Structure 1
């Protein structure tokens, strides 16, 4: 039993040990310190990357944003702070913190300048997705940071660092913060900057954890009492960063579940043969919610509407007011047009797909036919060269049918015009050449002479 446990422990240690492929400590520290430097080329790389990311967010292009994240140098100072705390290198902490502060200010100012002069002021989905961070962003920052520092501390880094840069998304939140300042929307600014802070803090925290786990040597001696206070401060700070994200995530989940209940209620309850739902939306005013449903078709009477209201509780929608809009005066023409178009597309989608499939099939058949078609003009010229007695050629493909009327074979018929009566074996030689030329065994040569 002890042997089995020992072998199992050895197997697990070989699979999960971080020490086997660990790079030399001095090299890892030097690599991270190198990333802390922010001057010269790195400054311009950051400015250009921020501009690229801002354009990508502005035109709603995820590919452009990802490209900008790959060239951003933002992660270096963040990992530098984590390393500095882990090895108690106060100089490194100060240097990394100063570099990070300059980077953040420069990034926000650059994106602010772009969005201030950009004619596209509308917030796209790529921008809006960076304004409401949740607890899931905490997990991304934590595990992304762990992957980053583990890869940095190993000999085989692979392509982990670029992946971490994309996953943790340090740059887009700063660009979104600049956008919030440019349009004067502090909600966008605060939300985006909070997302950046989450990512930065947990990348830093991940670096600290791995550095301590790998037992990197401390640069400065700190008493146990000071270490305890530092750990307490870090713990409180991390918890303070997490709590708001949990609250936001809770509200997001609650809103998603609420919208799902509303969708189910409208789909199942508003089911009438001559009345159709054009549009529905939830209007919230503080703690109160109102469900506004626009109908088209035969108007519903007061009793029916009262019955609809009574069924709200069946779908856990207590406290929601129902407002039914029906009749020409209460309907919006734009809503009607939108619903008619949506209905048309929905009902005709299968038909459109079927037609597309037929068109694609016919295109393939046409290509197949073209690939199989015989270039008679070229073959006629080649035939004259092969046999000077040939004056002309008519080549066609025909189907051979049996006496029962069923097709049995496809035959190529070559009606050949000879200048004079062909000699013995001349037709056979031409037939053999023609079979090789058109790559078919079913060739019949019919001779015609002047």
Structure 2
């Protein structure tokens, strides 16, 4: 009985065959996944090596029709960049035959075809010179040469351009190698890698004499060229394209090492540029977060408000970055509040060394702030996108200025009090006037008093003196001047 009971309570985990079955099931799952991924990502099976090589070789040459197509596409791209039209630039990239020599360079290195390499390099040089010369002539003689955002976007490449060029090159050569070339991929890569706009920007930089623009754009074109060629080299090696000349292994290793070295050297300055862009992006992000958590939630008394459109966030690599906030209103922000904001700013890693400037409008210096807003608006006007934006911003600033003007000198109250205090006063005027000693210019509040004509001159002068002292005390401004109307 005891023996039967023990047999009935044998645990399943004690089955010696169960562990083997789990192991076999796991191995079967791994094998199935591996087989699926192999079939999914295998590009050798559907590759037409002969057709791919012939297509790449056929696109290398720049003569006759191809040269004229290149010239036309460069002109279209230059017009698009000048007009800041993305659609026109994309159209020019679609018809440009720039990829041929670059793919030829990558393929010739991969299969050790020295003759094709020489031919590719020669046509590549012709392509670059013809493109830059065409763009230079356009921008040199075309009357409009504005620095559009489309042009400026090609002057400071970074590591992201390296990634675009490399993966664009991978997609391009894979599409070329497939049986039945995928045309849409080729067009898409032409747009993504954007070989033509940098060459047009080089011509623009030369035309206006800006060597930094020309050098930055040429660097971007060099990045695109090298990494498209490198991607071609790697894919053709993976696809095992046959070597034209059977070079020894030492020479093949040398070519591979040189390609890797050139790629690394090109990536270094691009990586540094990306680092700078990344640091500036972090600074601006923390600055916007700081503003939203401080002045963005501050409750201004009266009609005061924060002028978000006039905020200046200026990042500088030397650590002298500036965050300038503009506020308008009758009452100034208390100093203890500003000190709290500065302490809050210092809690952000990227903002600790930045200078926080608070520009405020108030009764005493309102005219000065009016000039500041006007000058800042003029500086910002060029950055506004359209007339509606300009009108909206101008209306906001005019509304704010009118409100501040009423608060700067409460003329209605002052005139009523003056009339009650000075019985000989029959009229009072007010305006700001500019005065200079030729060393500096100052804004002076000027009141103009009109007295009864039947009172003696001595009484009139005494009343005017008393009125002047009263106005300076009442408005807490010793610059105030009072003169008699008509004098």
Tell me the secondary structure at the aligned position of residue 22 of structure 1: coil
Q: Does 2:223 correspond to 1:198?
A: yes
The residue number in structure 2 matching 1:36 is: 60
2:345 to 305, 312, 327: 312
Q: Which moved more, 1:92-101 or 1:272-281?
A: 272-281
Residue pair 2:109, 2:255 contacting (<8 A) in 1 also? no
Which of 265, 269, 287 aligns to 1:262? It is 287
Pairing partner for 2:121 from 97, 122, 129: 97
8 Å contact kept, 1:54–1:114: yes
- The equivalent position to 1:61 in structure 2, one of 76, 85, 105, is 85
Given that 1:79 and 1:204 are in contact with CA atoms closer than 8 Å, whether structure 2 keeps it comes out as yes
CA distance in 2, matches of 1:240, 1:273: 54
Is residue 314 of structure 2 the alignment partner of residue 273 of structure 1?
A: no
- 1:333 offset after TM fit, Å? 1.8
Q: For 2:59, what is the secondary structure of its paired residue?
A: helix
Gapped regions of structure 2 (runs ≥ 5): 1-23, 382-389, 397-487
Distance in 2 of aligned mates of 1:117 and 1:293: 43
1:148 counterpart = 2:172: yes
Q: CA deviation at 1:188?
A: 1.5
Greater than 6 Å deviation, 4+ residue runs: 336-340
**Is residue 241 from structure 1 mapped to residue 269 from structure 2 by the alignment?**
no
Bigger shift: residues 86-95 or 315-324: 315-324
CA distance in 2, matches of 1:142, 1:336: 43
Any conservation in 1 of the 2:319–2:353 contact (CA below 8 Å)?
A: no
Partner residue in 1 for 2:11: none
TM-score w.r.t. the length of structure 1 is 0.72
How far apart are residue 343 of structure 1 and its match?
A: 9.8
Matches within 5 A, 1:80-119: 80-119=104-143
- Structure 2 counterpart of 1:333: 374
Q: CA deviation at 1:334?
A: 5.3
8 Å Cα contact 1:145-1:206 kept in structure 2: yes
TM-score, length basis structure 2: 0.67
Q: What RMSD over aligned residues (CA atoms) do the two structures have, in Å? A: 2.2
Q: Secondary structure at the match of 2:347?
A: helix
Q: Look up the SS of the partner of 2:313 in the other structure.
A: strand
Q: Indicate conservation of the 8 Å contact 1:280/1:294, yes or no.
A: yes
Cα displacement string for residues 8-30 of structure 1 (whole angstroms, at most 9, x for unaligned residues): 4443332221122211x222211
Aligned with 1:272: secondary structure? coil
Q: Is 1:231 the counterpart of 2:256 in the alignment?
A: yes
Q: 1:20 to 1:344 in 2, by over 3 A?
A: farther
For residues 336-372 of structure 1, give each alpha carbon's deviation from its aligned partner in whole angstroms, at most 9, with x where no partner exists.
7989934978xxxxxxxxxxxxxxxxxxxxxxxxxxx
CA separation in 2, counterparts of 1:272 and 1:335?
25
**1:245-289 Cα distance to aligned partner (Å, 9 max, x none):** 111111111111111111222232222323322222134553311
Give the 3-state SS of the residue equivalent to 2:254 in structure 1: helix
- Alpha-carbon distance in 1 for matches of 2:234, 2:360: 61
8 Å contact kept, 1:21–1:156: no
Q: 1:276 touches 1:296 (CA, 8 Å); kept in 2?
A: yes
Q: Is the 8 A contact 1:150 1:210 kept in 2?
A: yes
Gaps of 5+ in 1: 346-450
Task: Tell me if structure 2 keeps the 8 A contact 1:86–1:208.
Answer: yes
Among 292, 297, 317, the residue aligned to 2:324: 292
Query: Shift of the alpha carbon at 1:141?
Result: 0.8
Task: From the superposition, tell whether residues 336 and 153 of structure 1 become closer, same or farther in structure 2 (CA, over 3 Å).
Answer: closer
